[in-house]
Amino acid sequence: MACPFNQTAELNPGLLPLDWLLGTWESDEPGEGCFPSIKPFRYTETLHFTHVGQPVINFMFSAFHSETKKPLHRECGFIRMQPGTNRVAFIIAQNSGLVEIEEGDLTAQQLNLQSQAVARTSFAREPHVQQISRVLQLRPDGRLEQTVSMATDSQPLMQHLHITYRRS
């Protein structure tokens, strides 16, 4: 059974400050990933931001190895705004077994988020992620830029991913 998707629903007024995110974004060149415990890599990624009229944006991020096109990382979840404020929350489930809540502020067309809660499956690969920060911003040239930093059991918070996207 297919789930119906209402593409004609009006955006909930509480989400108007985030309307610049809506749509599909594709990396315009490979992004870069690095961390002391892994070999540096390049990747491509597609982002989907949708809504069904509720006070929440649905999202799915799909990353692929830039050369082999092998699927790498997937994230999906929801974005909520605290009514009457610039506070934003991302609720994220990752295919690696990690689940997180990131909260932060929206300033103009930039989101600055910090993990508030991180949980993982009991058999998640080590070292375990302890903290994540994310910056998403719409640049003046119309491209979307994302930088993700990460801390683990063995490493302090440092940049892990950086990529830019163009709207499809």
Distances (CA, A) of 18 to 65, 127, 144, 150, 159: 29, 34, 13, 24, 25
Domain ranges across the chain: 13-167
Match 């909930």 to its residue by tokens.
Answer: 12
How confident is the model over 84-99, as pLDDT tens digits?
999 999 999 999 999 9
Residue 1 has pLDDT above 50, yes or no: no
How far the first Cα of the chain sits from its last, in Å, is 28
Tokens coding 112: 């600055």
Q: Which of 77, 42, 74, 79 is nearest to 61 (CA)?
A: 74
How confident is the model over 117-151, as pLDDT tens digits?
999 999 998 999 999 999 999 999 999 999 999 99
pLDDT band at 7 (very low <50, low <70, confident <90, very high): low
Please name the fold of domain 13-167: Lipocalin (2.40.128)
